[in-house]
Chains A and B, each alone.
Chain A
């Protein structure tokens, strides 16, 4: 019974602290009216109403969601019970948007939306990482991740969004650079040049990154922050594309090179606009497929929502790991299985494992060249969130919350594996896990799966993996 999570000896955090995030223009007045107005508009134009109707009717109050939630496991605070938080929104819905609720309010003193409740939501919806772990256990299929997102959506319509997310999406949709990290085109080109040089030094191959090439099979988008923070991952990606012989079948577009989509975490309009921006870039380049780098939520949002928001036939969306596995299976790339001797474990990013389609692929890749691979318990669809999901990782001011509460279970889990390397093929998880490793002083290193592939890949005509390994060791001394 691999699905039984170990609740383990996690210590509970007793204090009832709130972890405020910065809001650009906090609203003080008429919050209740504005909340209801935004809620009404959403109910009018979107498809959420039937969902709410059915959730209002069915919750069994069975408490399974509580015991599966990593946040509740640490705080044991009733307000962190997923069902409790979800009910804040459901009660509002019932009271103000159903006949039964209105009727009841004429006779008894029922639930009323107040400023305090809005404060509770404002706090609560950003204490949930929208990882959807609880949803898998809920007998009634209540999708707390979706309700959290809907709650955040309503709040965002009254201007309540963590500033970090809002500023990034604004830049992505309206800024000059069209990406969340504000990397201008010139800087991108510089980075690519730098990566070429690094590849030459390291592997001994001469490549120029394909930029704005037309009619290529794959148009590549990664979390744009990778260009700043994760050069090794990108070089691993490049090495795979080069070794497989597909170097002239892919391209990076310069009008839009960001796969990040914070709309997935808080707003339908942003989600759709950013997806359309992505589709427009592939249209412009007359590309055939969308290839997403190592990023969980970018993969999920493109994979699930490009089909929803496309007019006509949608572009197929692939995660880079699917591509790499395909190349390995077809014998197009070779990985040396003597290079990585450390104990390696794999962290499943929620967005592509539980809410996606990528669980076995990375394991197949890793097992093909890593002799010492261990699993975390639980893993796969039942994994624990890194603690930075739902955009929380980008909100620096709640670092304490992410470390001491949301990420605590994960840190324990990593410690128990005894692994020296934690593979996490997601820009968000990587950032959070690196911070966790530092915070809990875990004796391990966090990296992407292509960072590891970069070490072990054998490319004909280039330096061998063993040679490179030796060089790296010399360099380290």
Chain B
């Protein structure tokens, strides 16, 4: 068991982390290329002012507490605080960052970390319950949407149990292994599922640029499909 844990903490973490970074880098490059480089000079004329204004105002979450999604939005926002802070700034994780990246980050206190973890777990449960019980949200949900929430829940829950032996239903070793493997699986999932929004989100904010259509393209499409007369 010890050996497994060491393997998961060492090489497996390095590989999965690298997969995530490379996967996200790939998306980043594709987005920069498609949205900026390939459109080139056409972007001069884009309505930058309104696009950037909308992009920036979207970051103010209270602007989006619209009727019908207030609870969802609030919990989703709080969920993200935990999901970003805990994995990065937890005292035990700081060691990982030091080992692999040489980074020296400040840790958050154990008490606060516990609170944030439970809080995040609570948020995930609320999000899950809403998805099941709000009819219009259920109507558009696919198995993946549930699966990802559960996949985020797993490392949080197992991490909490592992650090609180009193509440742990399994042995520390097995719980730790669950924690490591589920977290690493999540890392791999990030660039290939909707979790890729970690990068894509920022490009989505400026996706209005896609209205800068390619000149002449419509003509080529029509040419490929039919003869001159049939077009209009």
Residues of A within 8 A of B (CB): 1, 3-7, 37-38, 41-42, 44-48, 50-51, 53-54, 57-64, 66-68, 72, 76, 78, 81, 83-84, 87, 136-137, 139-143, 146, 157, 166, 169-170, 173-174, 267-273, 304-305, 307-309, 314, 357
> How long is the Cα–Cα vector from A5 to B215 in the complex, in angstroms?
37
Q: B73 contacts which chain A residues (CB < 8 A)?
A: 64
Q: A267 contacts which chain B residues (CB < 8 A)?
A: 218
Binds A, one of B153-161, B171-179, B200-208: B200-208
> How long is the Cα–Cα vector from A66 to B134 in the complex, in angstroms?
12
Are the CB atoms of B30 and A44 closer together than 8 Å?
no
Question: Is B168 interfacial (CB 8 A cutoff)?
Answer: no
Q: A44 contacts which chain B residues (CB < 8 A)?
A: 220-221, 224
Are the CB atoms of A47 and B232 closer together than 8 Å?
no
Question: Is B141 interfacial (CB 8 A cutoff)?
Answer: yes
Q: B140 contacts which chain A residues (CB < 8 A)?
A: 61, 63, 66, 78, 81, 83-84, 87
Give chain A nearest CB distance to B89 CB in angstroms.
24
Known: A61-B145, A67-B67, A308-B42. A47 touches B213 (CB 8 A): yes
- Ordered by A's residue number, 20 sampled pairs between the chains whose C-beta atoms are within 8 Å are A3-B63, A4-B67, A5-B67, A38-B221, A45-B220, A45-B221, A46-B213, A46-B214, A51-B210, A57-B193, A57-B200, A61-B194, A63-B69, A63-B140, A64-B64, A141-B207, A157-B225, A169-B232, A272-B218, A304-B47
Produce 1/0 per residue, B211-230, CB < 8 A to A. 11111111111101100000
Q: A68 contacts which chain B residues (CB < 8 A)?
A: 66
> How long is the Cα–Cα vector from A24 to B112 in the complex, in angstroms?
67
Give chain A nearest CB distance to B168 CB in angstroms.
33
Are the CB atoms of B207 and A63 closer together than 8 Å?
no
Q: B216 contacts which chain A residues (CB < 8 A)?
A: 272
Nearest neighbor of A263 in chain B, beta-carbon distance = B218
Partner of A7, one of B68, B142, B197, B212: B68
Q: Report the tally of A-B residue pairs with Cβ distances under 8 A.
A: 179
Are the CB atoms of A173 and B204 closer together than 8 Å?
no
Known: A47-B213, A84-B140, A169-B232. A269 touches B66 (CB 8 A): no
> How long is the Cα–Cα vector from A243 to B181 in the complex, in angstroms?
76
Task: Output the residue of B27, B63, B66, B214 with the most chain A CB within 10 A.
Answer: B66
Partner of A41, one of B44, B50, B213, B225: B225
Q: B34 contacts which chain A residues (CB < 8 A)?
A: 47, 50
Nearest neighbor of A276 in chain B, beta-carbon distance = B215
Question: Is B72 interfacial (CB 8 A cutoff)?
Answer: yes
Q: A78 contacts which chain B residues (CB < 8 A)?
A: 136, 139-140
Known: A50-B31, A67-B69. A357 touches B50 (CB 8 A): yes
Question: Is B9 interfacial (CB 8 A cutoff)?
Answer: no
Q: B64 contacts which chain A residues (CB < 8 A)?
A: 3, 64, 137, 139
> How long is the Cα–Cα vector from A207 to B28 in the complex, in angstroms?
60
Are the CB atoms of A157 and B67 closer together than 8 Å?
no
